[in-house]
Amino acid sequence: MLGEFVPRDVAATLAERGRGLSQRLVDFSPDTVKASYNRRPFLVSHHLDQHPAFRLSSLFSLCRRLPPSEVKYRVGVIPDTADFDSSYARFSKGLSLDDVLDRFEQSKAYICIYNPERDPAYRPILEGILSEVAAAINECDPVITWYSTYVFISTQDSVTPYHMDREMNFLLQVRGTKRVALWDPADDEVMSPADKDRLLSMFGSKRATYSPAFESKAMTYELRPGIGVHHPFIAPHRVTTGPELSVSLAFTFRTQKSDKLTSAHAFNHLLRRCGWLPAEVGHSPLADGIKVVASKAAQMPISLLQKAWRARRMAT
């Protein structure tokens, strides 16, 4: 799994460390976080646009020293309805990373740097942001269990197709502009209960797809350097850049609460595969708690079933 698990002893001190920082890179409004975190998107301000580590030359150097598996890219014009998971393979046109970096703007390129926190120069910066996030959400969602970061570098009019992730996110704009469209994951038309169960399951984790009928329900945010937006847990989104080169950082994370929701959804999906129609996650805390326990108890057999299911898919 990509990203970094946060040990319990570290998680217990993160919020205190964040409160003790003399200089912060992200400015959180306590009232806004309390009212909106994980309920609806909201804007935050930050100072990454002033940090030398996020200059284009520094980021291109990071691309060249990271393992190839940690830097993915696309080139050309990508339709906004393209499948997100297959887009890197479909739109790379056989170019090498060096080709893309050397002719970045001419290629209309898009680069995603995975897990820059694994680089010694970037780790202290991103661990600092981790502690700031922990301090900001501590009252409403304590104990961060995992985090992962991504740097997006893209030329003008680039599109990140509609998709949803399996965690929370703060998308922080560093250079250029972006238009972020977000949808409410609690809207059953956008994501049905079965869609959410499947997304968070161990069996393929297929994302729900876009429909033009969703467009009128989009919540749109215009980002510029120093401005970011919060993505609630599993919120669908689509991102387009403006008329200039764009750089942004996505800070994604999970907590004990989101881990429990994930386990409950995963168990629901297993029940659906067995022909049951389980109660939706979120309707009953007691039922959700039972599903979390049952999911953990079934983890090993589910893992074995997953391997068998994948082997069967490959065989057919």
Please give the Cα distance from 41 to 191 (Å, whole number).
17
SS3 42: coil
The model's pTM is 0.90
Please give the Cα distance from 22 to 136 (Å, whole number).
15
Eight-class DSSP state of 26: E
Residue 294 has a pLDDT of 87
Residue 101 to residues 83, 93, 179, Cα–Cα distance (Å): 24, 14, 24
Predicted confidence (pLDDT) per residue in 80-115, tens digit? 677 776 777 776 767 899 999 999 999 889 999 999
The distance of Cα 2 from the centroid of its chain, to the nearest Å, equals: 11
Residue 1 has a pLDDT of 45
Cβ–Cβ contacts within 10 Å for residue 75, how many? 21
Domain boundaries, the chain: 4-256, 260-315
Superfamily of domain 4-256: Cupin (2.60.120.650)
Burial 142-161 (b: 16+ CB within 10 A, else e): ebbbbbbbbbbbbbeebbbb
Residue 191 to residues 75, 85, 115, 258, 264, Cα–Cα distance (Å): 30, 18, 28, 17, 16
pLDDT by 10-residue block (mean), the chain, 316 residues: 86 97 97 98 98 98 96 82 71 83 91 96 98 98 97 92 96 98 97 96 81 97 98 97 96 97 94 93 93 80 57 62
SS3 264: helix
Predicted confidence (pLDDT) per residue in 261-311, tens digit? 999 999 999 999 899 999 999 999 999 999 999 888 776 555 555 566 566
Residue 297 has a pLDDT of 78
Residue 312 has a pLDDT of 61
Helix (H) or strand (E) holding 191: none
CA dihedral of 91, 96, 102, 108, whole degrees rounded to 10: 0
